[in-house]
Chains A and B, each alone.
Chain A
Amino acid sequence: MANDPISQFKLKELIPLEVGGMDISFTNSSLFMVVTVLTTSAFFIWAISGRGLVPGRAQSLAEMTYEFVAGMLRDSAGSEGMKFFPLVFSLFLFILVANMFGMFPYFFTVTSHIIITVMLAMLVFMTVILYGLYKHGLGFLKIFIPSGVPGFILPLVVLIEIISFFSRPLSHSVRLFANMLAGHITLKVFAGFISSMSAAGAVGIAGAILPLLMVVGLTGLEFLVAFLQAYVFTLLTCMYLNDALHPGGH
Protein backbone atom coordinates (compact mmCIF):
# COMPACT_ATOMS: atom_id res chain seq x y z
CA MET A 1 0.00 0.00 0.00
CA ALA A 2 1.30 3.39 -0.92
CA ASN A 3 2.54 5.59 1.86
CA ASP A 4 0.14 8.45 1.29
CA PRO A 5 -3.08 9.33 3.10
CA ILE A 6 -5.33 9.24 0.04
CA SER A 7 -4.67 5.88 -1.57
CA GLN A 8 -6.58 4.08 1.20
CA PHE A 9 -9.76 5.45 -0.35
CA LYS A 10 -9.00 4.18 -3.83
CA LEU A 11 -11.32 1.63 -5.31
CA LYS A 12 -9.69 -1.45 -6.74
CA GLU A 13 -11.49 -3.62 -9.20
CA LEU A 14 -11.53 -7.19 -7.96
CA ILE A 15 -13.93 -8.59 -10.57
CA PRO A 16 -14.24 -6.22 -13.55
CA LEU A 17 -17.79 -6.00 -14.84
CA GLU A 18 -19.29 -3.72 -17.43
CA VAL A 19 -22.89 -3.43 -18.57
CA GLY A 20 -23.90 -1.04 -21.33
CA GLY A 21 -20.76 1.03 -20.94
CA MET A 22 -21.29 1.31 -17.18
CA ASP A 23 -18.52 0.16 -14.92
CA ILE A 24 -20.18 -1.97 -12.26
CA SER A 25 -17.09 -3.90 -11.20
CA PHE A 26 -16.99 -5.78 -7.93
CA THR A 27 -14.46 -3.64 -6.05
CA ASN A 28 -12.84 -3.63 -2.62
CA SER A 29 -15.73 -1.38 -1.55
CA SER A 30 -18.24 -3.97 -2.76
CA LEU A 31 -16.27 -6.66 -0.96
CA PHE A 32 -16.48 -4.82 2.34
CA MET A 33 -20.20 -4.17 1.88
CA VAL A 34 -20.67 -7.90 1.39
CA VAL A 35 -18.42 -8.67 4.37
CA THR A 36 -20.34 -6.20 6.52
CA VAL A 37 -23.70 -7.70 5.59
CA LEU A 38 -22.53 -11.30 5.96
CA THR A 39 -20.74 -10.92 9.30
CA THR A 40 -23.54 -8.88 10.84
CA SER A 41 -26.28 -11.22 9.66
CA ALA A 42 -24.26 -14.30 10.64
CA PHE A 43 -23.54 -12.89 14.07
CA PHE A 44 -27.18 -12.08 14.74
CA ILE A 45 -28.48 -15.39 13.43
CA TRP A 46 -25.92 -17.26 15.52
CA ALA A 47 -26.49 -15.11 18.60
CA ILE A 48 -30.24 -15.63 18.72
CA SER A 49 -30.28 -19.23 17.46
CA GLY A 50 -30.48 -20.46 21.06
CA ARG A 51 -33.62 -18.42 21.70
CA GLY A 52 -32.69 -18.59 25.35
CA LEU A 53 -35.12 -17.35 27.92
CA VAL A 54 -32.04 -16.33 29.86
CA PRO A 55 -29.71 -14.87 27.23
CA GLY A 56 -26.04 -15.71 26.89
CA ARG A 57 -23.40 -13.13 26.09
CA ALA A 58 -23.97 -12.99 22.34
CA GLN A 59 -27.75 -13.02 22.67
CA SER A 60 -27.52 -10.25 25.27
CA LEU A 61 -25.52 -8.16 22.82
CA ALA A 62 -28.09 -8.75 20.08
CA GLU A 63 -30.95 -7.87 22.44
CA MET A 64 -29.15 -4.79 23.73
CA THR A 65 -28.63 -3.55 20.17
CA TYR A 66 -32.30 -4.16 19.44
CA GLU A 67 -33.43 -2.35 22.58
CA PHE A 68 -30.96 0.49 21.95
CA VAL A 69 -32.25 1.20 18.44
CA ALA A 70 -35.88 0.56 19.40
CA GLY A 71 -35.54 3.00 22.31
CA MET A 72 -34.00 5.64 20.08
CA LEU A 73 -36.79 5.28 17.51
CA ARG A 74 -39.57 5.16 20.11
CA ASP A 75 -38.24 8.26 21.89
CA SER A 76 -38.01 10.30 18.68
CA ALA A 77 -40.96 9.08 16.65
CA GLY A 78 -43.31 7.47 19.15
CA SER A 79 -44.65 3.95 18.98
CA GLU A 80 -46.00 4.44 15.43
CA GLY A 81 -42.37 4.91 14.43
CA MET A 82 -41.80 1.21 15.10
CA LYS A 83 -43.09 0.39 11.61
CA PHE A 84 -39.78 1.83 10.36
CA PHE A 85 -37.80 -0.25 12.81
CA PRO A 86 -36.35 -2.67 10.22
CA LEU A 87 -35.05 0.28 8.17
CA VAL A 88 -33.53 2.09 11.14
CA PHE A 89 -32.05 -1.09 12.60
CA SER A 90 -30.51 -2.06 9.25
CA LEU A 91 -29.08 1.44 8.73
CA PHE A 92 -27.56 1.55 12.20
CA LEU A 93 -25.95 -1.86 11.95
CA PHE A 94 -24.76 -1.40 8.37
CA ILE A 95 -23.07 1.92 9.14
CA LEU A 96 -21.71 0.82 12.52
CA VAL A 97 -20.20 -2.42 11.23
CA ALA A 98 -18.87 -0.79 8.06
CA ASN A 99 -17.23 1.94 10.18
CA MET A 100 -15.75 -0.64 12.54
CA PHE A 101 -14.37 -2.74 9.70
CA GLY A 102 -12.75 0.47 8.45
CA MET A 103 -10.74 0.60 11.66
CA PHE A 104 -8.74 -2.50 10.70
CA PRO A 105 -5.47 -1.53 9.00
CA TYR A 106 -5.58 -2.16 5.24
CA PHE A 107 -9.36 -2.59 5.33
CA PHE A 108 -11.54 -0.40 3.16
CA THR A 109 -13.98 2.01 4.79
CA VAL A 110 -17.24 1.80 2.86
CA THR A 111 -18.68 4.92 4.50
CA SER A 112 -15.72 7.11 3.53
CA HIS A 113 -17.19 7.54 0.04
CA ILE A 114 -19.75 10.27 -0.33
CA ILE A 115 -21.83 8.39 -2.85
CA ILE A 116 -22.57 5.71 -0.26
CA THR A 117 -23.60 8.16 2.46
CA VAL A 118 -25.61 10.19 -0.04
CA MET A 119 -27.47 7.07 -1.11
CA LEU A 120 -28.23 6.15 2.51
CA ALA A 121 -29.33 9.71 3.31
CA MET A 122 -31.50 9.82 0.18
CA LEU A 123 -33.08 6.52 1.19
CA VAL A 124 -34.15 8.14 4.44
CA PHE A 125 -35.16 11.40 2.73
CA MET A 126 -37.29 9.66 0.10
CA THR A 127 -38.87 7.43 2.74
CA VAL A 128 -39.85 10.52 4.72
CA ILE A 129 -41.30 12.33 1.70
CA LEU A 130 -43.13 9.35 0.19
CA TYR A 131 -44.54 8.07 3.47
CA GLY A 132 -45.47 11.61 4.56
CA LEU A 133 -47.36 12.31 1.33
CA TYR A 134 -48.96 8.83 1.31
CA LYS A 135 -50.11 9.14 4.92
CA HIS A 136 -51.06 12.81 5.16
CA GLY A 137 -51.45 13.96 1.55
CA LEU A 138 -51.03 17.70 1.30
CA GLY A 139 -51.23 17.90 5.10
CA PHE A 140 -47.63 16.77 4.99
CA LEU A 141 -46.74 20.31 3.90
CA LYS A 142 -47.52 21.40 7.45
CA ILE A 143 -43.94 20.49 8.31
CA PHE A 144 -42.98 23.79 6.65
CA ILE A 145 -45.38 25.83 8.78
CA PRO A 146 -44.34 25.93 12.43
CA SER A 147 -47.18 26.68 14.81
CA GLY A 148 -47.20 29.84 16.93
CA VAL A 149 -45.29 32.06 14.48
CA PRO A 150 -46.68 35.59 13.92
CA GLY A 151 -48.19 36.07 10.44
CA PHE A 152 -45.88 38.79 9.18
CA ILE A 153 -42.69 36.71 9.47
CA LEU A 154 -44.38 33.45 8.45
CA PRO A 155 -43.26 33.63 4.77
CA LEU A 156 -39.65 34.01 5.87
CA VAL A 157 -39.93 31.14 8.36
CA VAL A 158 -41.54 28.90 5.74
CA LEU A 159 -38.72 29.69 3.33
CA ILE A 160 -36.14 28.80 5.97
CA GLU A 161 -38.00 25.60 6.82
CA ILE A 162 -38.09 24.58 3.15
CA ILE A 163 -34.38 25.25 2.71
CA SER A 164 -33.52 23.37 5.89
CA PHE A 165 -35.73 20.45 4.87
CA PHE A 166 -34.10 20.06 1.49
CA SER A 167 -30.59 20.48 2.83
CA ARG A 168 -31.17 17.58 5.20
CA PRO A 169 -29.82 14.84 2.93
CA LEU A 170 -26.71 16.96 2.36
CA SER A 171 -25.92 17.49 6.05
CA HIS A 172 -27.04 13.97 6.87
CA SER A 173 -24.66 12.39 4.37
CA VAL A 174 -21.73 14.81 4.58
CA ARG A 175 -21.56 14.49 8.37
CA LEU A 176 -20.91 10.75 8.18
CA PHE A 177 -18.72 10.87 5.08
CA ALA A 178 -16.55 13.78 6.29
CA ASN A 179 -16.01 12.28 9.72
CA MET A 180 -14.89 8.94 8.36
CA LEU A 181 -12.73 10.50 5.64
CA ALA A 182 -11.06 13.06 7.89
CA GLY A 183 -10.43 10.55 10.66
CA HIS A 184 -8.77 8.07 8.36
CA ILE A 185 -6.68 10.76 6.66
CA THR A 186 -5.51 12.10 10.02
CA LEU A 187 -4.54 8.63 11.18
CA LYS A 188 -2.65 7.98 7.98
CA VAL A 189 -0.86 11.35 8.07
CA PHE A 190 0.40 10.81 11.61
CA ALA A 191 1.34 7.22 10.81
CA GLY A 192 3.23 8.63 7.80
CA PHE A 193 5.15 10.95 10.14
CA ILE A 194 6.41 7.94 12.06
CA SER A 195 7.94 6.27 9.04
CA SER A 196 9.29 9.52 7.58
CA MET A 197 10.88 10.65 10.85
CA SER A 198 12.34 7.29 11.78
CA ALA A 199 14.10 7.27 8.41
CA ALA A 200 16.07 10.34 9.61
CA GLY A 201 18.43 8.56 12.04
CA ALA A 202 18.51 8.13 15.82
CA VAL A 203 17.09 11.57 16.64
CA GLY A 204 14.27 10.98 14.20
CA ILE A 205 13.45 7.60 15.76
CA ALA A 206 13.31 9.21 19.22
CA GLY A 207 11.13 12.00 17.84
CA ALA A 208 8.84 9.51 16.09
CA ILE A 209 7.52 8.50 19.51
CA LEU A 210 5.38 11.64 19.51
CA PRO A 211 3.38 10.86 16.34
CA LEU A 212 3.21 7.24 17.51
CA LEU A 213 1.49 8.32 20.73
CA MET A 214 -0.72 10.55 18.63
CA VAL A 215 -1.72 7.62 16.41
CA VAL A 216 -2.52 5.47 19.45
CA GLY A 217 -4.73 8.22 20.87
CA LEU A 218 -6.38 8.93 17.54
CA THR A 219 -7.15 5.24 17.01
CA GLY A 220 -9.14 5.23 20.22
CA LEU A 221 -10.85 8.43 19.18
CA GLU A 222 -11.67 6.97 15.79
CA PHE A 223 -13.38 3.98 17.38
CA LEU A 224 -15.52 6.46 19.28
CA VAL A 225 -16.23 8.41 16.10
CA ALA A 226 -17.09 5.21 14.22
CA PHE A 227 -19.76 4.40 16.81
CA LEU A 228 -20.87 7.98 17.32
CA GLN A 229 -21.43 8.69 13.63
CA ALA A 230 -23.50 5.53 13.22
CA TYR A 231 -25.49 6.65 16.27
CA VAL A 232 -25.91 10.23 14.99
CA PHE A 233 -26.96 9.06 11.53
CA THR A 234 -29.56 6.75 13.08
CA LEU A 235 -30.79 9.37 15.52
CA LEU A 236 -31.27 11.92 12.72
CA THR A 237 -33.08 9.25 10.70
CA CYS A 238 -35.46 8.75 13.62
CA MET A 239 -36.10 12.48 13.92
CA TYR A 240 -36.74 12.84 10.18
CA LEU A 241 -39.11 9.87 10.27
CA ASN A 242 -40.96 11.62 13.07
CA ASP A 243 -41.73 14.44 10.62
CA ALA A 244 -43.26 11.94 8.22
CA LEU A 245 -45.42 10.54 11.02
CA HIS A 246 -46.38 13.80 12.72
CA PRO A 247 -46.03 16.68 10.21
CA GLY A 248 -47.45 19.40 12.49
CA GLY A 249 -45.58 18.24 15.54
CA HIS A 250 -42.78 20.76 15.86
Chain B
Amino acid sequence: MFITQALAAEEANAGGAFPPFDPATFASQILWLVITFGVFYMIMSRVIIPRLAGILEVRHDRISRDLDETERLKNEADAAHAAYEHELAEAKKNAHSIALEATEKSKAEAATAREKVEAELAEKMAEAEARIASIKAKAMAEVGTIANDTTSEIVKELIGGKLTKAEITKAVSASVK
Protein backbone atom coordinates (compact mmCIF):
# COMPACT_ATOMS: atom_id res chain seq x y z
CA MET B 1 0.00 0.00 0.00
CA PHE B 2 2.76 2.39 1.00
CA ILE B 3 4.83 1.46 -1.98
CA THR B 4 2.03 2.14 -4.41
CA GLN B 5 1.41 5.45 -2.62
CA ALA B 6 5.07 6.31 -2.90
CA LEU B 7 5.22 5.34 -6.54
CA ALA B 8 2.14 7.39 -7.26
CA ALA B 9 3.76 10.35 -5.53
CA GLU B 10 6.88 9.83 -7.57
CA GLU B 11 5.00 9.78 -10.84
CA ALA B 12 3.14 12.89 -9.80
CA ASN B 13 6.17 14.96 -8.91
CA ALA B 14 8.82 13.71 -11.31
CA GLY B 15 6.91 13.44 -14.50
CA GLY B 16 9.90 11.82 -16.14
CA ALA B 17 12.01 8.73 -16.35
CA PHE B 18 13.38 6.82 -13.37
CA PRO B 19 16.31 9.14 -12.49
CA PRO B 20 19.18 6.62 -12.82
CA PHE B 21 18.00 5.76 -16.33
CA ASP B 22 17.37 9.31 -17.52
CA PRO B 23 19.68 9.83 -20.53
CA ALA B 24 19.37 13.60 -20.23
CA THR B 25 21.65 13.50 -17.19
CA PHE B 26 24.32 11.25 -18.70
CA ALA B 27 26.45 13.92 -20.35
CA SER B 28 26.81 15.93 -17.18
CA GLN B 29 27.56 12.88 -15.06
CA ILE B 30 30.13 11.54 -17.52
CA LEU B 31 31.87 14.91 -17.78
CA TRP B 32 32.08 15.44 -14.05
CA LEU B 33 33.12 11.83 -13.43
CA VAL B 34 35.94 12.20 -15.97
CA ILE B 35 37.07 15.46 -14.38
CA THR B 36 36.87 14.34 -10.75
CA PHE B 37 38.16 10.82 -11.27
CA GLY B 38 40.92 12.11 -13.52
CA VAL B 39 42.03 14.60 -10.87
CA PHE B 40 41.73 11.89 -8.22
CA TYR B 41 43.86 9.51 -10.28
CA MET B 42 46.49 12.20 -10.76
CA ILE B 43 46.63 13.04 -7.06
CA MET B 44 46.84 9.37 -6.17
CA SER B 45 49.47 8.35 -8.71
CA ARG B 46 51.62 11.50 -8.52
CA VAL B 47 51.44 12.44 -4.85
CA ILE B 48 49.90 9.98 -2.47
CA ILE B 49 51.05 6.59 -3.74
CA PRO B 50 54.72 7.57 -4.19
CA ARG B 51 54.76 9.05 -0.69
CA LEU B 52 53.06 6.05 0.87
CA ALA B 53 55.33 3.66 -0.98
CA GLY B 54 58.31 5.74 0.12
CA ILE B 55 57.24 5.59 3.76
CA LEU B 56 56.75 1.84 3.60
CA GLU B 57 60.06 1.33 1.81
CA VAL B 58 61.97 3.48 4.28
CA ARG B 59 60.45 1.51 7.13
CA HIS B 60 61.25 -1.78 5.44
CA ASP B 61 64.85 -0.72 4.84
CA ARG B 62 65.16 0.56 8.38
CA ILE B 63 63.86 -2.70 9.84
CA SER B 64 66.16 -4.86 7.74
CA ARG B 65 69.10 -2.59 8.57
CA ASP B 66 68.26 -2.82 12.24
CA LEU B 67 68.02 -6.58 11.96
CA ASP B 68 71.45 -6.68 10.30
CA GLU B 69 72.83 -4.47 13.05
CA THR B 70 71.31 -6.77 15.65
CA GLU B 71 72.93 -9.76 13.99
CA ARG B 72 76.29 -7.99 13.92
CA LEU B 73 76.06 -6.97 17.59
CA LYS B 74 75.02 -10.47 18.55
CA ASN B 75 78.06 -11.93 16.76
CA GLU B 76 80.23 -9.37 18.50
CA ALA B 77 78.78 -10.27 21.86
CA ASP B 78 79.28 -13.96 21.14
CA ALA B 79 82.94 -13.33 20.21
CA ALA B 80 83.45 -11.27 23.37
CA HIS B 81 81.90 -14.02 25.43
CA ALA B 82 84.15 -16.64 23.83
CA ALA B 83 87.22 -14.45 24.45
CA TYR B 84 86.17 -14.00 28.05
CA GLU B 85 85.72 -17.74 28.51
CA HIS B 86 89.15 -18.31 27.00
CA GLU B 87 90.78 -15.73 29.28
CA LEU B 88 89.04 -17.18 32.27
CA ALA B 89 90.27 -20.68 31.48
CA GLU B 90 93.81 -19.38 31.01
CA ALA B 91 93.69 -17.43 34.26
CA LYS B 92 92.45 -20.50 36.10
CA LYS B 93 95.31 -22.54 34.67
CA ASN B 94 97.83 -19.83 35.65
CA ALA B 95 96.42 -19.57 39.15
CA HIS B 96 96.69 -23.30 39.59
CA SER B 97 100.31 -23.41 38.49
CA ILE B 98 101.16 -20.42 40.70
CA ALA B 99 99.58 -22.09 43.69
CA LEU B 100 101.43 -25.33 42.97
CA GLU B 101 104.74 -23.49 42.67
CA ALA B 102 104.18 -21.61 45.90
CA THR B 103 103.40 -24.82 47.76
CA GLU B 104 106.54 -26.48 46.45
CA LYS B 105 108.67 -23.50 47.35
CA SER B 106 107.32 -23.18 50.87
CA LYS B 107 107.73 -26.92 51.40
CA ALA B 108 111.37 -26.73 50.33
CA GLU B 109 111.99 -23.71 52.56
CA ALA B 110 110.42 -25.41 55.53
CA ALA B 111 112.56 -28.48 54.93
CA THR B 112 115.76 -26.43 54.77
CA ALA B 113 114.88 -24.54 57.94
CA ARG B 114 114.14 -27.75 59.78
CA GLU B 115 117.44 -29.30 58.72
CA LYS B 116 119.31 -26.26 59.90
CA VAL B 117 117.58 -26.22 63.26
CA GLU B 118 118.15 -29.96 63.69
CA ALA B 119 121.82 -29.57 62.91
CA GLU B 120 122.17 -26.74 65.42
CA LEU B 121 120.38 -28.76 68.05
CA ALA B 122 122.62 -31.78 67.43
CA GLU B 123 125.71 -29.60 67.73
CA LYS B 124 124.50 -28.06 70.98
CA MET B 125 123.68 -31.46 72.34
CA ALA B 126 127.13 -32.79 71.51
CA GLU B 127 128.74 -29.78 73.17
CA ALA B 128 126.64 -30.23 76.29
CA GLU B 129 127.47 -33.93 76.43
CA ALA B 130 131.19 -33.15 76.17
CA ARG B 131 130.91 -30.61 78.97
CA ILE B 132 129.06 -33.04 81.16
CA ALA B 133 131.70 -35.68 80.55
CA SER B 134 134.58 -33.35 81.45
CA ILE B 135 132.80 -32.14 84.61
CA LYS B 136 132.12 -35.73 85.59
CA ALA B 137 135.76 -36.69 85.05
CA LYS B 138 136.95 -33.72 87.04
CA ALA B 139 134.58 -34.57 89.86
CA MET B 140 135.65 -38.18 89.90
CA ALA B 141 139.28 -37.10 90.11
CA GLU B 142 138.53 -34.84 93.06
CA VAL B 143 136.65 -37.59 94.92
CA GLY B 144 139.95 -39.45 95.68
CA THR B 145 141.69 -36.33 97.13
CA ILE B 146 138.73 -35.48 99.38
CA ALA B 147 138.53 -39.06 100.63
CA ASN B 148 142.21 -39.06 101.45
CA ASP B 149 142.01 -35.76 103.40
CA THR B 150 138.92 -36.87 105.27
CA THR B 151 140.48 -40.23 106.17
CA SER B 152 143.66 -38.61 107.44
CA GLU B 153 141.65 -36.25 109.64
CA ILE B 154 139.42 -39.06 110.97
CA VAL B 155 142.42 -41.24 111.71
CA LYS B 156 144.20 -38.39 113.45
CA GLU B 157 141.23 -37.75 115.71
CA LEU B 158 140.65 -41.44 116.50
CA ILE B 159 144.17 -42.59 117.13
CA GLY B 160 146.03 -39.41 117.58
CA GLY B 161 148.81 -40.76 115.58
CA LYS B 162 150.04 -39.80 112.31
CA LEU B 163 149.82 -41.84 109.21
CA THR B 164 151.92 -41.33 106.17
CA LYS B 165 150.25 -40.13 103.08
CA ALA B 166 151.20 -43.26 101.21
CA GLU B 167 149.49 -45.57 103.79
CA ILE B 168 146.26 -43.55 103.68
CA THR B 169 146.09 -43.56 99.94
CA LYS B 170 146.64 -47.32 99.90
CA ALA B 171 143.86 -47.86 102.50
CA VAL B 172 141.37 -45.58 100.72
CA SER B 173 142.08 -47.21 97.44
CA ALA B 174 141.50 -50.63 98.98
CA SER B 175 138.13 -49.58 100.52
CA VAL B 176 136.97 -47.88 97.43
CA LYS B 177 137.69 -50.96 95.40
Chain A interfacial positions (CB closer than 8 Å to B): 2-7, 9-11, 17, 22-27, 29-30, 33-34, 36-37, 40-41, 44-45, 48, 51-53, 55, 59, 62-63, 66-67, 85-87, 89-90, 93-94, 112-116, 119-120, 177, 181, 189, 192-193, 196
Contacts and interface: CB of A to CB of B under 8 A. Distances in A.
Q: Which of B10, B24, B36 has the most CB of A within 10 A?
A: B36
Contacts of A90: 37, 40-41, 44-45
A63 B3 contact: no
A86 B45 contact: yes
B161 interface: no
A6 B52 contact: no
A30 B36 contact: yes
B106 interface: no
Nearest to B43: A41
Interface residues of B, number: 45
A45 B47 contact: yes
Contacts of A192: 2, 6
Given A63-B55, A93-B40, A93-B44, 13 more contacts: A6-B7, A6-B18, A6-B19, A10-B19, A29-B32, A30-B32, A37-B39, A48-B48, A51-B54, A63-B52, A66-B56, A86-B44, A86-B45
| Dominant SS among interface residues on chain B | helix
Nearest to B46: A86
A177 B18 CA distance: 14
B6 A189 contact: yes
Given A7-B14, A113-B20, A119-B33, A189 B27 contact: no
B84 interface: no
Given A114-B21, A192-B2, A2 B40 contact: no
B62 interface: yes
B6 A30 contact: no
B14 A10 contact: yes
Nearest to B13: A2
